[in-house]
Amino acid sequence: MMRIVTVLAMLLACCGGAPALDNGLARTPPMGWNSWNAFGLKMNEAMIRSTADAMVSSGLKAAGYEYIIVDAGWKAKSRDAAGRLRADAEKFPSGMKALADYVHSKGLKFGIYTDAGSEDCVSGAPGSRGFEELDAASFAEWGVDYVKEDWCNTTGMNAREAYTKMSQAILKTGRPMVFSICEWGDNRPWEWAAPVANLWRTTGDSKDCWDCGRETMNKPGGYPRGWVLILDAQPPLAAYAGPGDWNDPDLLQVGNSGLTTEESRAQFSLWAILAAPLIATNDLRSGDLQAMTPEIREILANRELIAVDQDSRGTEGTRVRVGGSGEVWMRPLADGSRAVVLFNPSQSLQTIRVRWTDIGGKQTDSLPLRDLWKHQDLGIVKQGYTAKVPAHGVVMIKAGPPIK
C-alpha cells in the first residue's frame, strides 16, 4: 500500500498535481485576436467582420492566428424571457450565431466573453452566475469555439467552484470550446485550474504602455500596468504550464499606440518565451480605416517566433539571468535547442552576453545559432554569444542543439 501511495505521489508530482482539462484543445497556446485593448466597448458586428477579413488578407491566419474573440460589450443589458443571454441589438443586429458563421466562413474560430459573477465588469450586462448551463448551451448553439470568463461582481463566490461549474457546463454541451479564465491571478489559479481551464490569467490587466503603473503597483488593485511589470511577475509560474494548460500574462499590446515598434518586438519575443497565448489586440483592418503598419504585421507574422511560442514540448521559459547590462530569458524546445532572448529594459543601447552555462549547457558546447528576427544563421558558436541590444529592445536567437 505504502508503495502505491509513493508511486502515486511521484506521478502527481511529475504532472503538476492534477489531471489537465480533458477537452483536447489548446495543446499549444491559443493564437488569435481580441477586441478589448484597442476598442473596449466600442465595437460592433461590422468591425468584427472586417477584422476577420483582415486576419485573412494580412496573412496572419496563414501564420497561425485562429480565434476572433469578442470581449465585453456584445451583450444586451438583460436576458430574454427564457433567461437566455442575447446580443446588444444595436451593435450586433444579426446576432451572435450569424457572426460566428461569418467568422467560420473565413476558416477562423469564434470566441466570446462572459463573467462568472452577477454582472460583467463594465458593460452593465448580466454575468453567468446561476446561468452556467444555459449560457454554455447558448454559446454551443451559436457555434462558439472559445469562452473567456471574467471575475467581476463575484463577492462571496469561490473562484475554483465557480469556474468548475462553467467548465462542466461547457463540457456538457459536447461542443469543443477552449475555456479561458480571467480572475487576474487573485486566487493562484496556476495551482488548481489545470483540470478546469485551458488558460488562466496570471495578473490584472495590462495597459498600452511599456512600464507605466510602477507607482501604484504595490497598492491594492494596482492594475492596469505596462507589460514589462507583468513580465517581472511571471518567472515563478513557469512550471505550471504545459500542453492544454497555459499561464496567461494577458493580451498582446503589440501595435497599439502606447508602444514603439521596438517595444512591440520585445513583448512578442518574451510572450513566445513564456508560451503565452498570442492574442493580438491592435486594429488589424486595412483600407480607409486605421491600418496596421508593415512593421507591426511583420512582428505578428514572424513565423520563427511563432514556432517558439507554439513549440510542441510546451515548456514555459523563464528568466535565467538578470542584472548588469540586461536580462537573459530562455525556453527549452522540443528539438533539444533553446530559444534565448537578450532583453534590454534600459533606456540606452547595451551589450548583453549569454553564456551557454546560463542556459543549461556546458561552456565547451558548440551551438549552431540563428537570429530569429534577422532570419540569419550565425554559425557555430562556442561558450556564449554577445550582442548589442537596443534600448527597450531584444535580440532573439535559437541556440543548438549542440554539435557532437
Q: Which are the catalytic amino acids?
A: 150, 205
Give 30 or 345: the residue with its C-beta nearer to ligand GLA.
30
Give 202 or 302: the residue with its C-beta nearer to ligand GLA.
202
Give 9 or 122: the residue with its C-beta nearer to ligand GLA.
122
Q: Kindly state the smallest distance separating residue 205's Cβ from ligand GLA, in Å.
A: 5
Q: Kindly state the smallest distance separating residue 198's Cβ from ligand GLA, in Å.
A: 16
Phi, psi dihedrals of residue 201, rounded to the nearest 5°: -65, 140
* φ/ψ bin of 188: left (φ > 0), alpha (ψ from -120 to 50), beta (otherwise): left
- 288 burial class (0-12, 13-18, 19+ CB within 10 angstroms)? exposed
Within 148-167, the residues that bind ligand GLA by CB under 6 A are 150
User: Is 205 a binder of ligand GLA (CB under 6 A)?
Assistant: yes
How many residues make up the chain in this entry? 404
CA distances from 151 to 23, 35, 142, 192, 280 (A): 22, 18, 23, 16, 22
User: Is 186 a binder of ligand GLA (CB under 6 A)?
Assistant: no
Angle, CA 113 vertex, CA 108 and CA 116 arms, to 5°:
145
Site string for ligand GLA, 95-124 (x = CB under 6 A): ------------------x-------xx--
Q: Outline where 106-158 has alpha helix (H).
A: 132-142
Q: Minimal CA–CA distance to 34: which of 169, 202, 182, 214?
A: 182
By CB under 6 A, the count of residues binding ligand GLA is 9
Structure-block grid coordinates of residue 193? 485550474
Residues with Cβ within 8 Å of residue 302, at least 6 apart in sequence: 268, 372, 373
Q: Kindly state the smallest distance separating residue 115's Cβ from ligand GLA, in Å.
A: 8
Within 61-90, the residues that bind ligand GLA by CB under 6 A are 71-72
**Which of 52, 144, 182, 278 is close enough to bind ligand GLA by CB under 6 A?**
182
Angle, CA 329 vertex, CA 323 and CA 330 arms, to 5°:
140
- Per DSSP, the residues of 279-338 read EE-S----TTSPPPPHHHHHHHT-HHHHHHHT-TT----EEEE-STT-EEEEEE-TTS-E
Give 71 or 263: the residue with its C-beta nearer to ligand GLA.
71
Beta-strand runs (E) in 175-313: 178-182, 199-201, 246-248, 278-280
The residues with which 201 forms a beta bridge, in sequence order, are 248
Give 205 or 232: the residue with its C-beta nearer to ligand GLA.
205
Q: Kindly state the smallest distance separating residue 148's Cβ from ligand GLA, in Å.
A: 7
Give 8 or 122: the residue with its C-beta nearer to ligand GLA.
122
Within 340-369, the residues that bind ligand GLA by CB under 6 A are none
Give 122 or 289: the residue with its C-beta nearer to ligand GLA.
122
Q: Minimal CA–CA distance to 66: which of 110, 23, 5, 129?
A: 110
Site string for ligand GLA, 27-66 (x = CB under 6 A): ---------x------------------------------
Q: Kindly state the smallest distance separating residue 371's Cβ from ligand GLA, in Å.
A: 33
User: Is 132 a binder of ligand GLA (CB under 6 A)?
Assistant: no
Q: Kindly state the smallest distance separating residue 121's Cβ from ligand GLA, in Å.
A: 4
Residue 134 and residue 84 in contact, taking contact as beta carbons nearer than 8 Å: yes
Q: Kindly state the smallest distance separating residue 160's Cβ from ligand GLA, in Å.
A: 18
Interface with ligand GLA (CB under 6 A): 36, 71-72, 113, 121-122, 150, 182, 205
